[in-house]
Each structure stands twice: as structure tokens, then as C-alpha cells.
Chains A and B, each alone.
Chain A
Amino acid sequence: MIKFIHVTKEYARPEPALSDVSFHLLKGQFSFLTGHSGSGKSTALRLAHLVERPTEGEVRACGFSSLRTSRRDVWKLRRKVGYVFQDFRLLPGRTALENVSFALEVIDSPKSQILPRAQRLLGKVGLAPKAGAVVDELSGGEQQRVAIARALATEPLLLLADEPTGNLDERATRGIMELFWEINALGMAVLMATHDLELMRKYPAARTLELDQGRLVYDSAHTEAAADNVGESDQTTATPRSTPPGDLGLAGEPEPVQHQET
């Protein structure tokens, strides 16, 4: 799903943002990417979305390689990889429905399917009653739900989330995490950057990758062996927790999911 192969990312500053990072995120896997501020979490997500390119090494995401995907073709990757931001990045002045419809329009969805599908997506994130509300008037948690619905519009195989609960209170955080967990249960891989250890402890089933000063210092799945095996492993699928991937179950009602929260 995502493979970082000896990835180094340097900016103008002396220390690299990422230094020789290697890991392999499997299909359907839920992973936390953690570390202090400035440890390289956001850089790693931007590299996975090909917003930036590595200085050294290679990033592979959903079949696209940072070495071979031209800037012109990045949109193809972006339709397979959803992205959720800490600051939501919604279109201000537009309704929740318009924000999700916009994403569907942008990817050339058939016109007749845009509205019903946008409504269904908002229903999935529990915002059907507020579909007509202008996003600026929604709470932080609700805005993040709209952003998640928008990210799901392309039926991605992978969802990247950069501190998605960073601006939310505890209750809203819990709701958003439930949502991510449900999405993952439908077969979609999730890579979530967070520095909230408390939050991660509530989801022990998730894999944890920890960055420190740009280096991968901990991988709960492989620990020390992870870096050595990466790039050689043919295993691409994690044990599914629920429904298999496909339409991501978004066309119909979701199946009930047993969460492993503690």
C-alpha cells in the first residue's frame, strides 16, 4: 500500500526532515505515525501523497512510485489516497454538501450521481442532517467529518490523516477516531499522524511507527527487523478486520464493527 524505501528528505536546514526511513504499510492496515513536533510526521505524509519528493530513496503508494510518477500524473495517485488535515481545509462559504459534491465533481463523477453520493457520504460520517449547513457554521468535529467525507469521495484505498484530531476537544476526537476505525474496518488502510499518546493507547490493535528527529525509531509491527526487510517483502495485505475492500461499503449501510478500544 505504502512503502518507504530508505527515504531521506532534506530542506534548506542542516538536519534532514527524514533520514533513511523505511517501512511498509499493508493493505487494510491501521497505523499511527507518531513523534514529537518536527520529527518528520507531516513530511512523511506529504511524501506519501507525492506533494513532495524524497531527496533520496523511493516512496511507493498504491502502485505509484515517487521516482516514476510525473507531476502531471499525480492526480491519479490522489484519487487512490485520501488526505485529511488538522485544519480541515474545506471550501469556506459553501455547505457541507457542496464541499463533498465539489470533490466528486473534480474527479469527473457522473453528474447524476454527484448529489446522491455526496448525501450518502455525509450520512456515513453522521452529518446527513447538516448537509445544507455552511461549513463555517459547523463545529470543529463536524468540519472534520465533512473533510473525511470529502476524502472518501474518491473511494481511496488509503487514507492519510495529519493530526486530524489536533484541533478537536475530547468528545469530538472520540467521534472522529470511531469514524476512522469504521472506515478502516471497511478495508481501507489508514495512516494517521498524531503525537497524542493517550489516543494511541486506546487503539492497541493499530500499528505504531515512531519518528524521532527524522529517523524511524520504533515500529510495533517489525521493530528492528522492519527496516531490514522492507523493499523485499511481498506481503501486501494485513489481516482484514471486517469487510473486504471494494466499494468500501459506502454504497450501502455499514456493517456493525466491533472496536477494540480500551
Chain B
Amino acid sequence: MFYTIRETLIAFKRAPLLTGLSAAMVGLALFVVGLFGLATYNVRLYLETLEERVEVVAYLRDDATTADIAIMEAALTMLPEVLGVDFVTKAEALERAYRDLPEFNEILTDLQVNPLPASLDIQLRPGSRNPITAERVAQQAALHAIVEEVQYGEEWVEKLFTLRRMGAVTTTVLGTAFAVVAALIIGTAVRIAIFARREEIKIMQLVGARDSFIHRPFLLEGAITGALGGALAVALTYTTFWSVFNYLFTISWIPWEWAGIGVSSGIVFGVIASGYAVRKHLREV
């Protein structure tokens, strides 16, 4: 182990520029992935905010009794897709209309009777806020006799979910492409560094070193290069986030686990690339 660490440090000390360039290449490759992650995360948060607005509203007949409403509320609450049910009285509905539609305030004031129906606002659980579930819950609600009409904004829910599906596909395709490109760049960077030391590998073989013995310092070197690159990528991504947050608009920082995954990916890619490159040179002698 002492030999492995010492040889790794010697390699860094003897070729700091090459090591620095390798780590920088790894860092920049992962930075692109980091930026993509930052954008994806914030788009996802925004879509989730929109999704929270997906709810089913059951408008009630004016002659619905309190007992009927309670029975219906209890029945809906028991559905597994339903997070909660809020009863909105006619008066509360009017109050909302005053608040949400100020341009109609004058007309609303002139009315002799409150034309707005009471309703049950049904919130769906996360994961159930999709057109199919919303429609199923709406159908369940419509079965109750006290229900006048059920609405769940079919059109915009459909659009929202189309957007979400597109986002998921784009994220998967682009994310995979970025990850592959990053892996190739990291692989190339590490292989260049090892190519510069192929003579050393040959010498070690010719004096009788076992393959595993030759591998060790190079694997450690690959891991350290990957870790440095990963840390650089996190720093660059955070700087970008900080700049956007302070000078452009409010965005959220990615979960730190994602940053950890980024650094770990750098390490894993570095080790794999090193192992592969060393093995290739080992086969030459």
C-alpha cells in the first residue's frame, strides 16, 4: 500500500501539468453533466409545482344536505389516490371569486343571489396527478347523486403530462448522451496520462512485476484524478448556480447527493479508464 501511494504521489509530482490537465478535462466533462443536472432539477421542481395544482372539483347541487356531503367526503377520502378532500361552501366559493377574479367584482356585487355552487375539492397524491387517475377519481365523484358536475381541467392536465413525458424522454436521452460523452472524455484524459507512462509499465513487467502490482498505483491515480475532476465540476456547477441565483433569477441547488454521485462517477470512470488503459499496455509485453 505504501508503494502504491508513494508511486501515485511521485507520478503527480513528476507530471503536475499532465495530472492537472487530466483532472481539468474530467472536471469540464462532468461540469456539463452538472449543468444539465441543475437545469433538469429546476425544471422538475417547476413541473411538480404545476402538478400540485392538479385537483378534481366536484360541484354540488344546492339541495345537497350536510349528511350527504359528509358521506361523499368520507368515501372519497378512502380512495388510495386521494390525498385530501376540502369542502368549499357557496359563500367561500364567492369569496374566492372576489379574490381570484377582481375584474368581475362589480358584476358579483350586483348579483341578488350567490350563483356559485358549493364544491368538494379533491387533492390527489403525488404520483397520482395524471390524466388517467384524475379521470378515474372524477368518475367516482360523479357517481354521487348530490354532484352537479365534476371538473379536473382535462385539457391542461393532458398538456402538463405531455410536457412531463417530453421532459422525461429529453432528460433520459440528453442525460445519457452527456454521461457517455463525459465518460469518453474522462477515459481519453486518463489514457493519455497513462500512455505517457507506458515505458514504466513495460519496465515493471520486464523485471517481473505481477499485473495486479502494476495496476494498483495507476488505479489510485485514476481515482484521484476522477475525484479532483468531480470536485472541480461540483465547484463550477455551484458557481453557476450562485451566479444565476444572485444575478438572474431564483433557482434551487441540486440535492448534495447528486453532487456526491457526480464525484463518485468521476472516481469510478477514472478507475475504469485507468484499469482499461493499463491492461491494454500490459498486453503489449
Give, as a whole number of angstroms, the nearest-CB distance from B197 to chain A. Answer: 10
Q: Please, how many angstroms separate the alpha-carbon atoms of A49 and B285 in the complex?
A: 10
A-B interface contact total, Cβ < 8 Å = 44
Give the distance in Å from the alpha carbon of A89 to the alpha carbon of B285 in the complex.
14
Closest to A147 in B: B203
Asked whether any CB of chain B lies closer than 8 Å to the CB of A128, the reply is: no
Within 8 A of A (CB), among B3-24: 3, 14
Q: Shortest Cβ distance from A242 into chain B, in angstroms?
A: 25
A150 touches B207 (CB 8 A): yes
| B208 close to chain A: CB less than 8 A | yes
Number of residues of chain A lying within 8 A (CB) of chain B: 25
Q: Is the CB of B202 within 8 A of A79?
A: no
* Bound Cα distance A103, B210 (Å): 12
A89-B203, A91-B203, A105-B3 are contacts. A75–B14 as well, Cβ < 8 Å? no
In the complex, the answer to whether B209 meets A106 with C-beta atoms within 8 Å is: yes
A53 within 8 A of partner (CB): no
Q: Is there an interface contact between B200 and A75, defined as CB atoms closer than 8 Å? A: no
B128 to chain A, nearest CB (A): 57
Q: Could you tell me the distance between the alpha carbons of A51 and B208 in the complex, rounded to whole angstroms?
A: 12
Residues of B at the A interface (CB closer than 8 Å) are 2-3, 14, 199-200, 202-211, 213, 283, 285
Q: Are B207 and A153 in contact (CB under 8 A)?
A: yes
- Can you list the 8 inter-chain pairs with the closest CB atoms, starting with the nearest? A79-B208, A78-B208, A106-B209, A103-B207, A75-B208, A75-B210, A107-B208, A83-B206
A102 to B2 CA separation, bound complex (whole angstroms): 13
In the bound complex, how far is the Cα of B200 from the Cα of A102, in angstroms?
Answer: 11
Q: Which residues of B are found within 8 Å of A74, using beta-carbon distances?
A: 205
Beta-carbon contact of A154 and B208 below 8 Å: yes
| Of A89, A111, A154, the contact of B199 (CB 8 Å cutoff) | A89
Q: For the complex, give the distance between the alpha carbons of A227 and B2 in Å.
A: 50
Residue of A nearest to B14 (CB): A93
A151 to chain B, nearest CB (A): 8
Set of chain A residues within 8 Å of B14, measured between Cβ atoms: 93
* Closest-CB distance, B258 to chain A (whole angstroms): 40
Is B206 a contact partner of A49 (Cβ separation < 8 A)?
yes
Q: Nearest Cβ in chain A — how far from B122, in angstroms?
A: 67
In the complex, A49→B200 CA distance in Å? Answer: 18
| A106 lies within 8 A of B204 (CB) | yes
Q: Residue of B at shortest CB range from A72? A: B211
Starting from the known contacts A78-B205, A107-B207, A153-B207, 16 additional A-B residue pairs (CB-CB under 8 Å) come to A51-B206, A51-B285, A71-B283, A74-B205, A75-B210, A75-B211, A78-B206, A78-B207, A83-B206, A89-B202, A91-B200, A91-B203, A105-B3, A106-B204, A107-B209, A150-B207
Chosen A-B contacts, 26 in total, with CB atoms closer than 8 Å, are A51-B285, A71-B283, A74-B205, A75-B205, A75-B208, A75-B211, A76-B208, A78-B205, A78-B206, A78-B207, A78-B208, A79-B208, A83-B206, A89-B199, A89-B202, A89-B206, A91-B200, A91-B203, A102-B207, A103-B207, A105-B3, A106-B213, A107-B207, A108-B213, A111-B2, A153-B207
